[in-house]
């Protein structure tokens, strides 16, 4: 596969630290000429003659003119991130200096790196498989405890190791079944069918689990959308402010205060919850703007992962609440019910249902139970550190195809189809498994995947 992929033998350079001014910045070179290029820019010591994993302090100069005092770190391939000879230049963090050093490197023969090209090279040199490379991008983008843990687990091969093992076992069976084809006239069975069924069942179980985990993975990566819905004056905006612990939305006793939706992010136990405060829903309003707001509330209600339905305990009747629940149930909407203004409740315990949270948004009482329930309902207890979780749509698509080719193999076995048909299905299963880890790939696909990375990584 590697020799089919071109254009990766030249030396690339990029600023690896965030764009802008900082105390220090890192510029990274990778490729065959990294040491030759740095030798032209760092006259005080021959870097090409230094040991790997050493650092060197001195002046970086372009054609005799000093640019900056720098620290050079040396990594000799294959013991580097990319697997190639790599230099990391630590310089002062002025944008001007960073740019000058970058230009000096290109003048001496390096080419500007494309996004993700360092990681792409690491993959091409076998330093990591594709799922690990993708986890690098996920780790850089991680913004919560859960997404960071999951990406780190995947970088360390957590999920691809499992797939590779299954693929290897399947390859062995494929070989035996194909061997049987050579002896077709003799009616021999090299591949033990009971063991084969056993393996297929194991792969199916794991694939099913991984496919299911995608939903949860999506939650970890993209968060949970929560629409706060209710009648005017129920206390939706007050609840939003209380959850966020800041006065984000305008609160007033005038019904119809919130017109447009307001979105804010809340972190509950490492998961991002996108809270959406909406316009109160009522059936008759002559206000055009309010009606547009109400339309939007319905839209948000339909697209949210969960609806937080809040009502004024003194205004709501059990009958109308029942109707509301029916609407949610019929539309397949997940919801939580919050009876608000419990601090001035005159309603006694007519809403004594266990599934209703009695809160006071204004006095911030019983709010923690509500956030706990939000977490439980959406993230559930499936989320644990050791569980492998799929967050990548590309992996998900391939796994769904793995799953369908597994069904084909199984039904082929059940109906005793000929070995050549069976081996076609096994090959397609192997293909999709290999596509996930990058054992089967092509240049366009790789370019697409790595183009989503940052430059310098």
Reduced to 3 states, what is the DSSP secondary structure of residue 336?
strand
The CA-atom distances, in angstroms, between 211 and each of 186, 197, 206, 308, 398 are 41, 21, 9, 28, 10
From 97-105, 299-307, 360-368, 436-444, span contacting ligand GTP (CB under 6 A): 360-368
Answer yes or no whether residue 242 interacts with Mg ion by CB under 5 A: no
Query: 187: Cβ–Cβ under 8 A, 6 or more apart, which residues?
Result: none
Reduced to 3 states, what is the DSSP secondary structure of residue 422?
helix
Q: Which residue is nearest to ligand GTP (CB)?
A: 280
CB of 48 or CB of 366, closer to ligand GTP: 366
CB of 217 or CB of 293, closer to ligand GTP: 293
Answer yes or no whether residue 82 interacts with Mg ion by CB under 5 A: no
CB of 206 or CB of 261, closer to ligand GTP: 261
Answer yes or no whether residue 324 interacts with ligand GTP by CB under 6 A: no
Q: What is the DSSP string of 145-192?
A: HHHHHHHHHHHTTHHHHHHHHHHHHHHHHHHHHHHHHHTGGGT---S-
User: Residue 340: which of Mg ion, ligand GTP, none does it interact with, CB under 5 to 8 A by kind?
Assistant: ligand GTP
Burial class (CB in 10 A: 0-12, 13-18, 19+), 309: buried
Of the chain, the end-to-end C-alpha distance in Å amounts to 23
Answer yes or no whether residue 253 interacts with ligand GTP by CB under 6 A: yes
Q: Are strands 54-62 and 65-75 parallel, antiparallel or unpaired?
A: antiparallel
CB of 145 or CB of 315, closer to ligand GTP: 315
User: Residue 233: which of ligand GTP, Mg ion, none does it interact with, CB under 5 to 8 A by kind?
Assistant: ligand GTP
Answer yes or no whether residue 50 interacts with Mg ion by CB under 5 A: no
- 130/439 Cα distance (integer angstroms): 8
What is the rounded (10 degree) CA torsion for 362, 363, 366, 367?
50
From 28-36, 100-108, 187-195, 255-263, span contacting ligand GTP (CB under 6 A): 255-263
Answer yes or no whether residue 226 interacts with ligand GTP by CB under 6 A: no
Give, as one character, the DSSP assignment of residue 7: S
- 418/406 Cα distance (integer angstroms): 16
In sequence order, what are the beta bridge partners of 15?
A: 27
Q: Is the dihedral of CA 54, 118, 28, 159 positive or negative?
A: negative
Please work out the total of residues on this chain that contact ligand GTP, with binding judged by CB under 6 A: 24
Answer yes or no whether residue 238 interacts with ligand GTP by CB under 6 A: yes
Answer yes or no whether residue 412 interacts with ligand GTP by CB under 6 A: no
CB neighbours (10 Å) of residue 99? 12
CB of 442 to ligand GTP, least distance (A): 53
Among 144, 154, 160, 237, binds Mg ion (CB under 5 A): 237
Give, as one character, the DSSP assignment of residue 280: P
Interaction with ligand GTP in 51-80: which residues (CB under 6 A)? none
CB of 280 or CB of 456, closer to ligand GTP: 280
Strand order in the sheet with 262-268: 262-268, 271-277, 224-229, 306-312, 335-340, 356-358
From 182-190, 268-276, 337-345, 430-438, span contacting ligand GTP (CB under 6 A): 337-345
Residue 321's Cβ-side half-sphere holds a number of Cα atoms within 13 Å equal to 21
CB of 369 to Mg ion, least distance (A): 22
Interaction with ligand GTP in 277-316: which residues (CB under 6 A)? 279-280
Strand order in the sheet with 24-30: 54-62, 65-75, 86-92, 24-30, 12-15, 111-112
Answer yes or no whether residue 387 interacts with Mg ion by CB under 5 A: no
> Are 200 and 409 spatial neighbours (Cβ–Cβ below 8 Å)?
yes
Among 204, 206, 257, 371, binds ligand GTP (CB under 6 A): 257
Answer yes or no whether residue 258 interacts with Mg ion by CB under 5 A: yes
Answer yes or no whether residue 257 interacts with Mg ion by CB under 5 A: yes
User: Residue 230: which of Mg ion, ligand GTP, none does it interact with, CB under 5 to 8 A by kind?
Assistant: ligand GTP
CB of 350 to ligand GTP, least distance (A): 17
User: Residue 83: which of Mg ion, ligand GTP, none does it interact with, CB under 5 to 8 A by kind?
Assistant: none
Contact residues for Mg ion (CB under 5 A)?
A: 236-237, 257-258
Contact residues for ligand GTP (CB under 6 A)?
A: 230, 232-238, 251-253, 255-258, 279-280, 340-341, 343-344, 360-362
């Amino acid at each position: 596969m590697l020799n089919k992929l071109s254009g990766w033998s030249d030396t690339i350079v990029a600023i690896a630290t965030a764009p802008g001014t900082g105390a220090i910045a890192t510029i990274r070179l990778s490729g065959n000429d990294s040491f030759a290029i740095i030798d032209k820019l760092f006259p005080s010591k021959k870097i090409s003659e230094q040991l790997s994993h050493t650092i060197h302090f001195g002046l970086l100069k372009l054609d005799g003119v000093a640019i900056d005092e720098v620290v050079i770190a040396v990594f000799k391939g294959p013991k580097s991130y990319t697997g190639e000879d790599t230099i990391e230049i630590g310089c002062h963090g002025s944008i001007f200096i960073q740019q000058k050093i970058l230009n000096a490197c290109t003048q001496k023969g390096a080419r500007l790196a494309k996004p993700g090209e360092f990681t792409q090279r690491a993959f091409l040199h076998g330093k990591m498989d594709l799922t690990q490379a993708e986890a690098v991008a996920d780790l850089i983008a991680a913004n919560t405890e859960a997404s960071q843990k999951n990406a780190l687990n995947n970088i360390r091969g957590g999920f691809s190791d499992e797939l590779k093992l299954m693929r290897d076992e399947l390859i062995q069976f494929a070989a035996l079944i194909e061997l049987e084809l050579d002896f077709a006239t003799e009616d021999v069975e090299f591949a033990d069918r009971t063991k084969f069924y056993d393996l297929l069942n194991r792969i199916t179980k794991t694939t099913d689990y991984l496919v299911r985990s995608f939903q949860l993975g999506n939650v970890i990566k993209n968060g949970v959308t929560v629409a706060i819905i209710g009648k005017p004056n129920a206390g939706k905006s007050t609840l939003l402010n209380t959850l966020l612990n800041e006065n984000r939305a305008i609160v007033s006793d005038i019904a119809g205060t919130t017109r447009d939706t307001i979105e804010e992010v809340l972190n509950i136990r490492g998961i991002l919850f996108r809270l959406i405060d909406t316009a109160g829903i009522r059936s008759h309003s002559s206000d055009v703007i309010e009606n547009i707001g109400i339309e939007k509330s319905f839209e948000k209600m339909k697209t949210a992962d969960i609806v937080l339905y809040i009502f004024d305990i003194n205004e709501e009747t059990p009958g109308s609440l029942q109707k509301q629940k029916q609407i949610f149930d019929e539309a397949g909407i997940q919801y939580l019910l919050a009876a608000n203004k419990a601090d001035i409740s005159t309603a006694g315990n007519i809403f004594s249902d266990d599934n209703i949270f009695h809160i006071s948004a204004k006095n911030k009482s019983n709010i923690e139970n509500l956030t706990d329930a939000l977490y439980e309902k959406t993230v559930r207890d499936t989320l644990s550190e050791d569980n492998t979780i799929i967050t990548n749509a590309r992996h998900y698509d391939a796994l769904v195809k793995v799953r369908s080719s597994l069904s084909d193999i199984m039904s082929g076995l059940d109906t005793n189809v000929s070995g050549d048909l069976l081996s076609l299905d096994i090959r397609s299963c192997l293909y999709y498994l290999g596509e996930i880890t990058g054992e089967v790939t092509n240049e366009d696909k790789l370019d697409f995947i790595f183009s989503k990375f940052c430059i310098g990584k």
